[in-house]
Chain A
Amino acid sequence: MKKVRFIFMAIGIAAMTLAGCNSQGNGGSNGGALSSSVAEKVYVAPGEKDTYYGFLSGGYSGNLTVYGLPSGRLFKEIPVFSQFPTSGYGYSEETKPMLNTSHGFVPWDDLHHPDISQTNGELDGRWIFVNGNNTPRIARISLKTFETEEIIEIPNSAGNHSSSFVTENTEYVIAGTRFAVPVPQRDMPISEYKGNFKGALTFISVEPETGHMDIKFQIMMPGFDYDLSHPGRGNSHGWHFFSTYNTEEANSLLEVNASQNDKDFVAAVNWKKIEEYVKNGGGKKMPANYAVNRYDESTHSGSSEMMKEVLVVEPTEVEGAIFFMPMPKSPHGCDVDPSGEYIIGSGKLSSDVTVHSFTKMIDAIENKKFDGDAYGIPILKFEDVMAGVVKSGGLGPLHTEFDGEGNAYTTFFISSEVVKWKIGTWEVLDRKSTFYSVGHLMIPGGNSRKPHGKYLVAMNKITKDRYLPTGPEMEHSAQLFDISGDKMELLSDFPTHGEPHYAAGCRADLIAANSQKIYRLDDNKHPHAIKSPGEARVERNGNEVHVYMSMIRSHFTPDNIEGVKVGDKVYIHVTNHEQDFDVPHGIAVIGANTSEILVMPGQTKTTLWEPKQVGVWPFYCTDFCSALHQEMQGYIRVSPASSDIEISFSLGK
């Protein structure tokens, strides 16, 4: 019954919103954009550059997209958890190991929550971390090369959703499980979920120089769903806050059964305390099996190592480290303001945004004002920790970001709007409709001590009629707002790739100057690289044929190869000898069961070709590299398996 009321409310509010948007969203016919010079605010003239980077999660594309703001222009799609034929990521021999897991080669994932590395609570622009939700993984992407450098699998986790948020000095990147599972995994009845399944919160240390990730410890929490999380900062640095739902521990029909409790929890974890405990020998090592995949820029190659154990801490082992703060209505977003004082929870089924105070939380803990416990973890009293409630009148709050000027911005999915409110007084200052049903939002630096402000990107889940129709399946839609004034101003719409679940952004100058142009050929340590065309050769080793090939405008060395036989595995190792910015070459061979590979200047990549038919088969450069690009081609002669033709190769003969 209660549920039905919500639906009616939703319809009512949606109708109101719709009426409201007629004057605003569709205002173009009244000359809205022209009369208010909105177009100038997003127009980046040819040759001019955007002032902000936006890194948008690609959701089920498995990849991360890079946009310019305010133009909304797409600059790059960075392959992370999915095979990507555009560059050959996940197809080339060098990058296949990046997608290795304990489940074998997993060529897809659902990429969520990008978070840029921080120093002293401010974005430092070195790396961006993202999480794979489906087969739990965390990836680290270099913001110098814009390539995926590392992927670590998370054991004892499933639905890796309250991830991949970094602490103030990137000490840790944090990964919490959404789905509780048996730990260790075992064959048991699903109905015995309650009390038996666990929810692992994983703390992955980040080596300050290399960025290498390493699981320091896992906290084995009760089997709730850990939905989102954010780090403390300033005074609350050393704590991390996770929203939970399904504290009912239901294992079926969660839309009803996980909505029984009026309040779920925000779990407050003092990771510094647990780190100290672990440093002094605390915790237990348990057997595990998870992959750590690293890409080495100097060898242009990835490698995968299986790790065999993980350090586990039970929440009750460390006194004073973990507490539950009640939060109404199955909270989704769990955001921390720039000062670190306020923890904002957004109950998905609520109309209110509830704000807890870190100072009040500490006071309640010190005075042991507990209201019982859950599995031995003390529960604080709602009234003791609550700082305020934002009564917005919207419905379905999800996520909150900050502008650094004392304001917060919360998205409301059901009422399809962004609401601006004042931290401390909790008064609503402004509200703007989005089109339609906004999920995440991003203000550059909006999850740090010093937001960069200026713009807000609202990432909508529903597109419907915003663009020219493209059949039933459409890209999602983002809306850009100018937030530099008292009221938010809608500037533009732009389509986004896949389904963005959160984004990270920053001022362009933090990253642009460090962006790499080429790889130095003299620094190339790939075992199959050749540094000059004179080293080009073809070698047979049983039924493996290794081609050591170079490419330069506008030929391959060698470009004629004979002596290959049906049934051979032909590894073509190609080194791009260009040392010139933005001159990649590609290679594709007819009938290859992989993708092309795109090789950057100074880089070596390998594609595997397994010829199945006798003949003379061409290969060619796939990137229009030069005026004589069409001449950049060659042939491989494939003889019957029984042939005794020796390997030979040539160029220009």
Chain B
Amino acid sequence: MKHLKYIFISALSLSFLACQNAGNEGTTNTSESSDEVSYHEAGQAFVEDEVSDPNILQIAIGSADHSTLVAAVQATKLENALVNAGPLTVFAPTNAAFDALPEGTVENLLKTENLDQLAAILKHHVTPGNYDKEFLKNFKKLGQADDTDALVEVKGEDVYIGGAKIVASVKGSNGIVHVVDAVILPTSN
């Protein structure tokens, strides 16, 4: 089970890398290529569909409390991963959670040269699998999409993931979104 999860994670990151490579092909290093933009905008996140139930990305976009998260996802071009068939469990820090980081942290991460680091942090908020809050209590730790683990703690009725408390949960068509009150920072394995 655990093994398979890692395979999935590797596949996910590999395909992400592959996207970037494909996008960069035949372009110069200095300018943003138009190829890259068009490839990026052609993913599953951009399928016209007003009929299906909202997916995880659409839930995040629809939440005013998550505009920082959405901006970070868009900056790192992770949209397509969040509308994948999944199933995915996404821990979504609120804007307040991002604001609570030391001043300048978010701005710094959004710089072009730091986007890989930001992407790793965002992927640390994603678990392959569809786990509601109740079911998460069965875990000691979760294997996250950045290939590191996040600790699961249960305090009374509350569930904490990497120190962030789940304050609300929304089911999406391809998984579940748990709103958390803090940004979950990866610790080195």
Residues of A within 8 A of B (CB): 47, 517-518, 552-554, 578-581, 583, 601, 625-628, 630-631
Q: Please indicate the chain B residues that have their CB under 8 angstroms from the CB of A579 in the complex.
A: 52-53, 173
CB-CB < 8 A to A626: which residues of B?
A: 85-87, 174
Indicate whether B4 reaches chain A with its CB closer than 8 angstroms. Answer: yes
**Cβ distance A519 to chain B, nearest Cβ, rounded Å:** 10
* Shortest distance between the CB of B130 and any CB in chain A (Å): 6
Contact (Cβ within 8 A) A580 B173:
yes
Q: Which residue of A lies closest to B7 (CB)?
A: A627
**Beyond known contacts A553-B174, A580-B55, A581-B51: 9 more, CB 8 A cutoff:** A518-B52, A552-B130, A553-B85, A553-B130, A578-B173, A581-B47, A581-B52, A601-B52, A626-B174
Task: Tell me the B171-189 residues at the A interface (CB within 8 Å).
Answer: 173-175
Q: How many A-B residue pairs have CB under 8 A?
A: 52
Nearest CB in chain B: distance from A592 CB, A: 26
What's the minimum C-beta distance from B80 to chain A, rounded to whole angstroms? 13
How far, in angstroms, from A601 to B51 measured CA to CA in the complex? 12
- Is B49 on the interface with A (CB-CB < 8 A)? yes
Assess whether A517 is in contact with B86, with CB atoms less than 8 Å apart: no
How many residues on B have C-beta within 8 angstroms of the other chain's C-beta atoms?
Answer: 20
Please report the C-alpha to C-alpha distance between residue A581 and residue B54 in the assembled complex, in whole angstroms. 10
Q: Which residues of A contact B4 (CB under 8 A)?
A: 628, 630-631
Q: Top 4 A-B pairs ranked by shortest CB distance?
A: A580-B173, A579-B53, A553-B87, A517-B51
Question: Secondary structure of the A side of the interface?
Answer: loop
The listed residue (A47, A580, A628, A631) touching B52 by CB distance below 8 A is A580
Complexed CA–CA distance, A390 and B4 (Å)? 69
B53:A580 contact, CB within 8 angstroms: yes
Q: Decide if A625 touches B85 in the complex (CB within 8 Å).
A: yes
Q: Which residues of A contact B173 (CB under 8 A)?
A: 578-580, 583
Q: Which of A47, A518, A628 contacts B87 (CB 8 A)?
A: A628
Complex CA gap A630/B51 in Å reads 28
Q: Decide: B129 and A628 in contact? CB cutoff 8 A.
A: yes
Among residues of A, the one whose C-beta sits closest to the C-beta of B83 is A580
Return chain B residues, CB-CB under 8 Å to A581: 47, 49, 51-52
Interface pair B174/A580, CB less than 8 Å apart: yes
A601 CA to B53 CA, complexed, in Å: 11
In the docked arrangement, what's the CA distance between A552 and B173, Å?
A: 10
The 30 listed contacts between A and B (C-beta, < 8 Å) are: A517-B49, A517-B52, A518-B51, A552-B130, A553-B130, A554-B87, A579-B53, A580-B53, A580-B174, A581-B47, A581-B49, A581-B51, A581-B52, A583-B85, A583-B174, A601-B52, A625-B85, A626-B85, A626-B87, A626-B174, A627-B8, A627-B84, A627-B85, A627-B86, A627-B128, A628-B4, A628-B8, A628-B87, A630-B4, A631-B4
B42 an interface residue at 8 Å Cβ cutoff? yes
Residues on A with C-beta less than 8 A from B85 are 553, 583, 625-627
Most buried by B among A518, A554, A601, A628: A628
A578 to B52, CA, bound (A): 9
B53 cross-chain contacts in A, Cβ below 8 A: 579-580
- Give, as a whole number of angstroms, the nearest-CB distance from A403 to chain B: 33
List the A side residues contacting B47 at CB < 8 Å: 581
Interface pair B128/A628, CB less than 8 Å apart: yes
* A630 surroundings in chain B (CB, below 8 A): 4
Chain B residues near A627: list those with CB within 8 A.
8, 84-87, 128
Assembled-state Cα–Cα distance A627/B174 (Å): 11
Cα distance A580–B128 in the bound complex, in angstroms: 18
Q: Kindly state the separation between the CA atoms of A625 and B86 in the bound complex, as whole angstroms.
A: 9
Q: Which residue of B lies closest to A652 (CB)?
A: B135
Q: Which of A47, A580, A601 has the most CB of B within 10 A?
A: A580
Within 8 A of A (CB), among B1-37: 1, 4, 8
Report the separation of the CA atoms of residues A47 and B129 in the bound assembly, to the nearest whole angstrom: 29
Chain A hits for B128, CB < 8 A = 627-628
Measured in the bound complex, the distance between the Cα atoms of B173 and A554 in whole Å is: 12
- Nearest-CB distance from A587 to chain B (Å)? 18
Chain B residues near A631 (CB-CB < 8 A): 1, 4
Cβ contact within 8 Å between A47 and B42: yes
In B91-150, which residues have CB < 8 Å from any A CB? 128-130
Distance to closest chain B CB from A467 (angstroms): 31
Interface 0/1 of B146-164, CB less than 8 Å to A: 0000000000000000000
Could you tell me the distance in whole angstroms from the C-beta of B8 to the nearest C-beta in chain A? 5
- Within the complex, the shortest CB–CB distance from B137 to chain A, in Å, comes to 13
Residue from A518, A553, A601 within 8 A of B86 (CB atoms): A553
Min distance, Cβ A45 to any Cβ of chain B, angstroms: 11
Interfacial chain A residues near B175, Cβ < 8 Å: 553
CB neighbours of B51 from chain A (8 A): 517-518, 581
Q: How far is the CB of A516 from chain B (nearest CB, A)?
A: 8
- Taking a contact as CB atoms under 8 Å apart, the answer to whether B130 and A554 are in contact is yes
Complex Cα distance, B174 from A47, in Å, reads 23
Q: How far is the CA of A69 from the CA of B128 in the complex (A)?
A: 39
CB of B117 to closest CB in A, whole Å: 25
CA distance A581 to B55 in the complex (A): 10
Q: Could you tell me the distance between the alpha carbons of A631 and B129 in the complex, rounded to whole angstroms? A: 11
Chain A residues whose CB sits within 8 angstroms of the CB of B42 once the complex forms:
47
